[in-house]
Structure 1
Amino acid sequence: MKKLIHSLYILLVVLFAANAQAQPQNKQQQTLSLSGALVNEQGKPLDYATVTLLRAKDSSVVKGTLTSESGTYLFDKLQAGKYIVAATNIGYKKTYSPTVDVNGELAKTMVPAIKMLQSSQSLQTVNVVAAKPLIERKMDRTVMNVENSVLAAGNSALEVLERAPGVSIDKDDNISLKGKQGVTVMINDKLTYMSASQLTTMLKSMDASTIQSIEIITNPSAKYDASGNSGIINIKLKKNKQTGTNGNLSLGVVKGRNWRNNTSLSLNHKQGNLNLFATLSRGDQKRENILNIDRRVDSAQSSTYFKQRTSLLSEVHYNNYRFGADYATSSKNTVGFVINGDYTNEYNNPNKTTTQLGRTPDANDSYQTTLANIKQTYRNFAANVNDKLQLDTNGQELSVDLDYSIFHNGSDARYETNFLLPNGSTQRPPQFILNQTPATITIWTQKADYALPLNKTMKLEAGVKFSSVKTDNDLQAQINSGDVFINDTSRTNHFIYEEKIAAGYLNLNKSFRKTSIQAGLRAERTSSMGDLVTKNQVVDRKYLNFFPSVFINHTLSDKHELGISYSRRIDRPGYDQLNPFRFYLDQYTYEQGNPFLKPQYTNSFELSYTYNKTINVTLGYAKTTDVSTEIILTDTISKATYQTRLNLNTQNSYNININSPYTISKWWTGNVNFNGFYQQYKSADLLGANLNNGKATFILRTTQTFMVAKGWKAEASGYYQSPLSFGIFDIKQQYAVDAGVSHSFYQKKMNVKFAVSDIFNTRRNAVSSHYQSVNLDVHQKNETRLARLTFTYNFGNSKIKMRQHQTGADDEKNRVKSGN
């Protein structure tokens, strides 16, 4: 029985470490070994005890085995590095060896005999789980480990995301990576199927305490969907990794000008081959936003100057859920499902805009006030069914994902505009406008991935995917006529968009002694149709694209690594960007989609250098054609200014990124990230002139972590962004400082965190554009100085990690507009 129990345990260890063992082995790996022995207090050997080899840097499992009858063990075919040996045996305390350095100077490394004490005796155990650094550099991505960061306390996912290396977020919450928009955002390796505005709304409502890490992938391989011209941001959510029943409870309160609160509960139950998991989160958020716009509109006869002052107050009440199960039908096959969704209401009651009009900058010939009462609802649901089959013990496997998502979004708005003279008297009767904007988005995807190791150093990957999307937007607009409301035919609109994408890819990985190469090719055939029902106007497109990618990594020595990569990508317009509806701030200011917007294509090159696995430098160049860019246009007849998107000719992007973690002392560590880039926009005949605009920009971020006392940790971070240019816009500098402190107690099961973001309240957006007929200056101040207090409690057992799974319905979700 004793041997059987140990055999079952080691089987789990081996399965858990399978991914690490599937890596190709070079000559050095096959000659390095580590051996030792286990003994009891009397020095007698312990037979059939479980021995696990761990990486010293993060305690990840490398290999597992059982001791022989003489109490000895052997790990062979190892990579050079630092390891720890963990030993367990029934009736004995779990014991660890000191850190062992397998450095290649000796083919065989001996570990001093490990003495195990019986469980009835006390033992001062060694904690081998090293805290991961905030920023890690891996072969094809940069990882920001959010889980243990003090600054994650009480923050939203969006607020944490903008602290990631190379990530910036503008005044409209558009996400850029190394200065480029068009980022694809994934959650747990799944595309979010949301538009930019939907995505930011969802990220605002997501509690950062549910995030484990954020991965920045600037040059994705052919395995990923080809969308996203600036790369992929993958948000990894925490997963309960324990056997039995366990969970996590998080409670938070936030105070700025207004109060906010957030609560999340995660539960996990694992028994035998079945694993059940669920996460529920809810919150109430109240935000203020001050928006000032000064602009000049020229006509043939005269110029009109506008001074617009808007006070925005929004209340968001969100409820998110996620639950699922995994079941191992055999040792080689696991099936599962995941269901998630959200139920969110957002209120803007009221937003007040005051607009002053004059023939000179200082004149006030008339003015108007607009009160907007808006209620937006988001009812989103997504389901995934998956199956992963290991076809043999050599690493051949097949995985299948089926996804269904549906988004029900709605908006009910009432606008009341009063027209006044400078003395406050009525210029003309007030105007009342009603808008109802129901929208339904339905997404189906099917995806299959296959992996085949051809030999110890070569692996082939292949896959197919099919997605089908339909969006239905029906804007019903009414305007007052006397005491009744009638249909406003100038704004009422019905827009239906359908899109089908069939894709397939091949990836080949080859490892040499010091060099690894990956080459891939992805093909995507797109068929889309936009039907502007109201105007009987159809935009029908069909196109086939190929997306190659190449990655080469070379190890110069133990401390020096080089990498070079190339990929071609596409960025299709978001569904809301194609929607020609008008979304009003007032009658002189609105946003409108463009159904004729084309996809943009990007060719990206990147050269990287890594020193000692820590300091990383990357140089990149990307050229984008048919650049989809925000632009301001003016209707000289109505004197209205509106924002839309157009395709510019080209964008050339040059960037350098330097990231370096460092240790000042055992209680003080830090990280600094420098991102410099130059974006050049070119377009012929844009508003009657040739555009050639660009500016060198840099973003500097630094984070300091202090272990101030036992159980206490403090963290401070700051960032500075120099002025930059984006299309026809010039954006002024930004900077801010954040800080926080946390305390763990009750055997580290409880934690209290206090953090303040934007301590000096310096973060603001200042944007200007003076190009041809466009003359405007925008100043925006969000509620950014916030104090957060968060309490978390971890409960339950903690033994065996659960299966992690990624699904296939991701790219399409990233283009849907949602709430929060």
Structure 2
Amino acid sequence: MHSPQARPWLRFFLATGLPMPKFFSTRLYFIFTRCLAGAGLLALPLASMGQAGPAVRGTVADSAGVPVASATVTLHRAADSVAVKAEFTGAQGTYQLAAAPGGRYLVSAVQVGYQRRWSPAFELPAAGLALATLLLARSTSTALKEVSVTAARSLYEHRPDRTVLHVEDSPLAAGATTLDLLGRAPGVTVAANGNLGLRGRQGLLVVLDGKRLALTGDELADLLRALPAEQVGTIEVITNPPASYDAQGGAGVIAIHLRKDQRLGTNGSVNAAYGRGEFGKFVGGGALNHRAQKLNTFGNYTYADRHNFTRVDIERRFAPAGGPGSSSAQNNDLTNHLQSHTFKAGIDYNLSARTLVGVAASGLVSHLASTNQNQTALYDGAGALTRRYHATVGQDVRRPNTALNANLRHAFADSAGAATLSADADYARYDTRRRTDLATAYDQPSAPAAVLTGDQRNNLSLASFKADYARPLPHRMRLEAGAKATRVRSDNDVAFDRTENGMKARDAAISSTFRYDENVNAAYGILSRAGARTALQAGLRAEQTNTLGHSNGGTDDFERHYFQLFPSLSVEHTLSDRHALGLSLNRRIERPNYSQVNPLRVYIDPTSYGAGNPGLLPATSYNAELTHTFRQKFITSLGYSRTDWPILLQVQPAPDGNLLVVSRNVNLAVQHNYALTLTAPLTLAPWWTFYGNAVLYYARFVGGPAGGPPVNRRPALTFTGSNTFALPGGWSGELNANLETGETFGYERLKYRGQVGAGLQKTLWAKQATLRLNIADVFYTMPIRATQTYATFSETFYQRLDTRVGTLAFTYRFGSAKVAGARKRAAGAEEELRRAAGQ
């Protein structure tokens, strides 16, 4: 017989397993209904255990007398302060702890942002005891779960599995792009091709407001460049994602959360920023929000208009076995104009105090027009000039992207810590229209001009449905479970026309179509327990993947089906008030996305193009990390990962010769990665705080394509140092420095680079307005110098961007200043709904 407590949630999971979508495999359904039932059976004896003996009762409140919910209350032996048991306070700040009568005890209470408070020692009578209210004072020091680096609010918040960047509080965020923000995030690197890396590893899952972005490389970078920082509230860099996240992304997860106003009543904001490097950059927009007791409507819009340049010098050396070899030198001077419109609108409605429904629509529509002036010279093995030409490459890229979301949140009781159910249905469409005009004029020897015109169309749609359930269990345990189904479809059509001697004809060899379908069905379960000194979380996620690729003619067709399990484990143990240890283990996957397997070409210049690799295999990784925390803020972690079939970008001579070069992704056999991370938040003065993060990492690759595995190996270091200053008169400042030492990753070797950014911020008119001034890349040290070496081919390039920019920004907020979360009588169920909704 199941206990009365355990029976309802066990029935829920077994019931919700029955109407799974038809495309869920029988095997997936079989395993997970039994996994969840097994988790329920594990919890049954715990649920049936009640509290025995007399109890210590009391209330925890802040210095103003307002009850503090979810504070940790611990019962200690009076003789040596050893913890006996612990609990969380309820919605009204109350707690109850059972213990053996006749013993002498102490009670302590703590909450994030508050100092720990102790009760006097007492002896517990047989009838129990009610203690006086424990009043918590605000903490002025840094706590483990929130590393403060400003006097008012932390810019960086460190949690056991992630680092949170509070973007809206940063003076350096004004006028920036989301890609700029990530380039300054601790441990994150942005490669020349736009690929994101974390602690020396590539392969990240990027989610926007909880929704996966099915893009990588240049396409993802272009979207992040088009998304203004003014739209972003927080960015989470998650190194050890729990099983509730997709298993995609061997290096971790970057979760971007857009701003959402929590103030009551009708309120909003308007903002404008203008930056100037070599070219001008403008960002402007506004937001409007109305939050009542049951209804919340919101909307925002941002327009960005940015002019930029990219200058690249490339030297290549071709040395085929047994041949004299040849080389080339080229200069590219590209200017571009990016215009983007970003918007979001939605409605949330409380059907009851425990049920919330909502719908939202969002979009990012961008237009990028660019012109590249290319000069190329070719030389023979003796260094003599054999050919010289110049080309103009014009591209017009339009990306109308839209997304729709419908969601439901329900709490099963009117109290904090109640069981919750959430469900989301999402549909997103990412379309790309790329028009390319490549005109080449031959200077030496003289030859007729040639024109290559390309018309490329891509329609990418992503639909998903997920449901998540969370329930607290007795003895500080918690159960989470959920299921998700995702479907991605990409339709691609490329047509290239060549014009020579005045005759225009279709180039059938490089014109084609390609369709990619991906379906991932997943389910997960997480069981966690937070003890007085030890916290444990164990999770299991299963994903069934079905992929299909089809090209015109069928030469690049593929079909793959596979089912994999992704376990995860996280343990945190407090050794003393100064030392704590943590251990995390997980398994993750990096599936090639549509652009990485799409064989159709994208031309960069007359001698360079990018193309996908239909033969790419998914990469799976095993990850382990050991963490030590000293005095609740100084963190040292040592990580190791092994990745089978790692995916990395390779530049090599194209199969069709003529000194063409192709950039494509390939699989190597194995990648070993080692990383040492140091984090130090310091309060250097009452008005000056510092956050430092350093990552020392080393990657070793084994096996590879016919040309052999990478042979260059050396450790690398990234450092992020952020200084924030609270200045008189409503002024504040930020000084940020990033450094990346020389790095070898795969076939690419990069030289050091970094940047320094400085910003000032002034609040005006009773904090209703903010004026910001910043300068990014003050010393212009962000240019990229790198060398790609593969077999008998090498390429060295030097890339400069318009990164040294000074920006002046102004924001004005109007309407009510009362925050919804500050209501003293907010019901526990409402708190749970907001937490489930990610607010």
Q: TM-score, normalised by structure 1?
A: 0.84
Secondary structure (helix, strand or coil) at the match of 1:562 reads strand
- Name which of 416, 419, 425 aligns with 2:442: 419
CA distance in 2, matches of 1:774, 1:105: 75
**Counterpart residue number, 1:410:** 433
Distance 1:79 1:530, change over 3 A: farther
Q: CA deviation at 1:100?
A: 6.9
Deviates more, 1:690-699 or 1:602-611: 690-699
**Residues 498-532 of structure 1: CA deviation (Å, up to 9, x unaligned):** 11111111111123331111111111111111001
Alpha-carbon deviations, 1:378-415, whole Å to 9, x = none? 01111111111112356222111111111221101111
| Alignment match of 2:798 (pick from 755, 779, 790) | 779
Alpha-carbon distance, 1:168 to partner: 0.8
| AA matched with 1:339 | A
Give SS of 1:730's match. strand
Matched, 1:315 2:337: yes
Among 352, 355, 364, which residue is 2:376 paired with?
A: 355
Per-residue CA deviations over 1:10-69 (Å, capped at 9, x if unaligned) read: xxxxxxxxxxxxxx9999xx858557999xxxxxxxxxx983448999xxx98765xxxx
Q: Deviations over 1:749-806 (max 9, x none)?
A: 1111110011111211011133421222111111111101110111111224377577
Determine which structure has greater relative contact order: mean sequence separation of CA pairs < 8 Å that are 6+ residues apart, divided by chain length.
1
Letter in 1 for 2:307: K
Q: What is the Cα deviation at residue 635 of structure 1?
A: 3.6
Give 1:638 deviation, angstroms. 1.6
SS of 2:779 mapped into structure 1: coil
Structure 1 residues 511, 303: CA separation in 2 closer, same or farther (over 3 Å shift)? same
Query: What is the CA-CA distance between 1:211 and the residue it aligns to?
Result: 2.2
Structure 2 unaligned residues grouped into runs of 5+: 1-48, 73-87, 98-106, 123-130, 138-149, 822-832
660 and 306 in structure 1: CA distance in 2 versus 1, 3 angstrom threshold: same
Corresponding position of 2:684: 664
The whole-number CA distance in structure 2 between the counterparts of 1:699 and 1:103 is 42
Report deviation, 1:700: 1.5
Partner residue, 2:546: 527
In structure 2, relative to structure 1, the CA distance for the partners of 1:251 and 1:557 (3 Å cut) is: same
Q: Which residue is equivalent to 1:94? A: none
Query: What are structure 1's unaligned runs of at least 5 residues?
Result: 1-23, 39-48, 66-72, 85-98, 115-128, 809-820
**SS in structure 1 at match of 2:385:** coil
Aligned pair partner of 2:218 in 175, 197, 217? 197
CA distance in 2, matches of 1:796, 1:504: 43
2:167 aligned residue (129, 135, 146): 146
Partner in structure 2 of residue 103 of structure 1: 118
CA contact (8 A) 2:119 2:134 kept: no
Give the letter aligned to residue 118 of structure 2.
N
Pairing 1:132–2:153 present: yes
User: 2 CA distance for matches of 1:804 and 1:420?
Assistant: 66
Would the aligned equivalents of 1:711 and 1:743 in 2 still touch at CA under 8 Å?
yes
- Deviation for aligned residue 1:156: 1.1
Match for residue 677 of structure 1? 697
| Matching residue of 2:352 | 330
**C-alpha distance in 1 between matches for 2:136 and 2:437:** 78
Match of 1:441 in 2: 460
Whether 2:188 is the aligned partner of 1:173: answer no
Structure 1 letter corresponding to 2:658 = S
For residues 641 and 250 of structure 1, the distance between their equivalents in structure 2, rounded to whole angstroms, comes to 44
Matches of residues 152-231 of structure 1 in structure 2 within 5 Å? 152-231=173-252
Pick one of 555, 564, 588 that aligns with 2:574: 555
Query: Compared with structure 1, are the counterparts of its residues 437 and 255 closer, same or farther at alpha carbon in structure 2 (3 Å cutoff)?
Result: same
**Which residue in 2 is equivalent to 1:80?**
109
User: Residues 733-762 of structure 1: CA distance to partner in whole angstroms, max 9, x if unpaired?
Assistant: 112211111111100111111100111112
Deviation at 1:648, TM superposition (A): 0.2
The residue type equivalent to 1:551 in the other structure is: S
* Residue 490 of structure 1, CA deviation: 1.4
Aligned partners of 2:60 and 2:109 also within 8 Å: no
1:51 to 2:66 alignment? yes
- Does the 8 A contact of 1:55 with 1:83 survive in 2? no
Change (3 A) 1:209 1:56: farther
Q: Which amino acid aligns with 2:702?
A: K
The partner residue of 2:275 within 254, 272, 277 is 254
**Structure 1 residue 757 and structure 2 residue 776: aligned?**
yes
Residue 738 of structure 1 corresponds to which residue in structure 2?
Answer: 757
The AA in structure 1 aligned to 2:650 is I
Q: 2:404 aligns with which of 371, 376, 383?
A: 383
Q: Contact (CA 8 Å) 2:179, 2:224: kept in 1 or not? A: yes
Residue matched to 2:317:
296
Question: How far apart are 1:75 and its partner, in Å?
Answer: 7.4
Structure 1 residues 575-625: Cα deviation after superposition (integer angstroms, max 9, x where no partner): 111111111123321111111111100100011122233221111000001
Contact residue 108 and residue 116 of structure 2 kept, 8 A: no
Distance 1:774 1:156 in 2: 35
| Distance of aligned partners of 1:183 and 1:806 in 2 relative to their CA distance in 1, 3 Å threshold | farther
- Distance in 1 (CA, whole Å) between partners of 2:120 and 2:373 is 73
Identity of aligned residues (%): 28
Equivalent position amino acid for 1:185 in 2: V
Counterpart AA for 1:679: A
Q: What CA distance in whole angstroms lies between the structure 2 residues aligned with 1:83 and 1:527?
A: 44
- Report whether the alignment pairs 1:369 with 2:398: no
Q: Which residue of 2 aligns with 1:503?
A: 522
Counterpart residue identity of residue 629, structure 1:
L
Q: Which amino acid aligns with 2:409?
A: K
Deviations 1:94-146 (A, max 9, x none): xxxxx8751356575667999xxxxxxxxxxxxxx962222221132122222
* Pairwise CA distance, 1:442: 1.5
Displacement, 1:368?
Answer: 1.0
Partners of 1:401 and 1:807 within 8 A in 2: no
**Deviation string for 1:246-292 (max 9, x for gaps)?**
11211100100000100121111012201011111111011101111
Cα separation, 2, equivalents of 1:610 and 1:472: 49
Count how many residue pairs are aligned between Structure 1 and Structure 2: 729
Q: SS of 1:756's equivalent? A: strand
Q: TM-score, normalised by structure 2?
A: 0.82
Q: 1:768 aligns with which of 777, 787, 809?
A: 787
Q: What residue identity is the alignment partner of 2:666?
A: L
Residue in structure 2 matched with residue 649 of structure 1 by the alignment? 669
* Alignment CA distance shift 1:742-1:364 (3 Å): same
Separation of aligned partners in 1, 2:669 and 2:94: 62
